[in-house]
Amino acid sequence: MGVFRRKVFASDQALIEQETINYFAREIANTIETEYFNLEKAIKDRRSEGIHSAEFEDYESLTLMSLDQICKFVNRLLGQGASNLKTTERVRPDGTKLRKIMDQLVAINSPKAKAKIADLEEACVYYADSVKSGSFIMMPDATLESSRSYRGYLLGNKINGDNKWGWEKDDKSPKEHADNSVSQFLGRFVTNVNDKVGVSKILTSACLIAILLSTAWATAPERHSIQ
């Protein structure tokens, strides 16, 4: 009976872990969709206000290029390739691939990687706790919902800064602009997970994924194809 129960528990645990991985895959796809939505909304708002500026248009063009490269990157690393996407999909991360890559990183058991994951998680939790306590001075009277985008932005800047990708530069090269878009996407992904599940092993795993993807982006062909 004891052996049977252990087998049942192991099966249940495996199912929970797979559901968590599938959740991450959906959250990655949803975050990318939100990035496109925000860009499209910003363009519509600018045009509706009659603002025509080469500077704005160049920025929007670079952002669109960056998001398209992120999609290629995610589909190559985690997906089945663009040819297998539905017409309504930009990316479709595969849970099995995502889990395999995460398991490989965990198996390395690098103290440096652990420190980066813990540091990212601490920053994410700090921003959220500041909002809850009313000490988030950048946005007085903010709620978790109203501050989510800005907290993701701050976390993205941290990821970018840790990788020394020059987020603070006003005049970014196309590659630096793409680096910044990757950082913002990852910062918002982690922030979204935190706001849904709170401090937990799931959040730690989300931070692991963000570090994994930022590390992979540094040497990705999609990044190095940008001139």
Residues contacting 90, CB < 8 A, separation 6+: 29, 32, 33, 36, 71
Contact in structure between 108 and 211 (CB atoms under 8 Å): no
Structure tokens at 13: 């645990």
pLDDT band at 83 (very low <50, low <70, confident <90, very high): low
Residue 51 has pLDDT above 70, yes or no: yes
pLDDT band at 170 (very low <50, low <70, confident <90, very high): confident
User: What are the contacts of 126-133 at 24+ separation with CB within 8 A?
Assistant: 127/151, 127/154, 127/155, 127/191, 128/191, 128/194, 128/195
Kindly report which listed range (65-74, 113-122, 145-154, 188-197) carries the lowest average pLDDT score.
Answer: 113-122
Q: Is residue 189 classed exposed, middle or buried when 0-12, 13-18 and 19+ CB atoms within 10 A define those classes?
A: buried
The per-residue pLDDT for 31 is 97
Residue 8 has pLDDT above 90, yes or no: no
